[in-house]
Amino acid sequence: MPPINCICIKYGTLYGAEYVNNLLAGLKRQSRADIRMFCMTEDRAGIVPEVEILPLASEPFHARMFKAMETAPKRGRLQKISVFRPDLIPDLEGPLMVFDLDVAITGSIDEMRDHAPGKVCMRLEWNVSKRVPTLGHGSVERFDPKQHTYLYEFIATNPEEAVALGGGSEQSYTSLCAQKHGDFAPFPSEWVASFKYDCRPRRPFNLLVEPHQPPQAKVVCFHGRPSIPEAISGYRAGVWRSTKPCNWLAKAWSV
């Protein structure tokens, strides 16, 4: 079985090196293949040597892109577009899986690597925004840099039009751009779960029982609160949003 190529982006101080290391450990536990892991970052301190470090990109189109984002409905992290550069990893063979750092790996990712070959794969977004046209959710994405060069080339040559297409959101841009090329293929929704929507028990059971682990979920996403460490230790945020300590998450998000 060929290795699974994975990449994440870490910049600033919001996420520590443990997020990269725990992501890699989870991927290795949940695959029969070898994992080749990349991280785009300006600070490799604390990241295990097994991770191949790539510098954070400064793209020639950034100034125009950021200018266009000033009036966009959403000001997302469009720096993530640099992972689509066809020459980012010169010796890469096969598709590349892109993971946000605020995810936990809870099931086999082998099927995710092999799902819908030749397509751009993301989960369908849970909540479609009225302000921003949204199709796919960007916590985990799979594409092939050699086949889907337009994901980079379009924004590199037409940043204003690209920002308008996605409303300032990277996940909207990526999924809608792929759809325009006939390349978008969603992951089965049960493969990618939201901790808030799919794991947290309904009130009042959120105060009484441990969050649910969706049996078919391969990736659990954390958007907003609680964060992964908060969910592990138990989250206190009033009767609606509080959760009990999550033991299965502690095992999934560890080295």
The four Cα atoms 69, 79, 21, 25 give a dihedral, to 10 degrees, of: 90
Structure tokens belonging to residue 67: 């200018």
Cβ atoms of 178 and 148 closer than 8 Å: yes
d(CA 116, CA 123): 13
- Where in 35-83 does DSSP place strands (E)? 35-41, 52-54
CATH superfamily of the domain spanning 4-101+108-188: Spore Coat Polysaccharide Biosynthesis Protein SpsA; Chain A (3.90.550.10)
- Please tell me the total number of residues recorded for the chain in this structure: 255
pLDDT level of residue 130 (50, 70, 90 thresholds): low
Phi, psi of 165 (to 5 degrees): -60, -45
Q: At 80, which amino acid appears?
A: K
Chain segment 38-78, per-residue pLDDT in tens: 999 999 999 999 999 999 988 999 999 999 999 998 877 77
Chain segment 213-247, per-residue pLDDT in tens: 999 999 999 988 999 999 999 999 988 899 999 99
| Per-domain residue ranges of the chain | 4-101+108-188, 190-252
What percent of the chain is helix, strand and coil (3-state, nearest 5)? 35, 20, 50
Structure tokens belonging to residue 57: 């990109």
What is the average per-residue pLDDT within 182-199? 97
* pTM for the model: 0.95
pLDDT for residue 131: 67
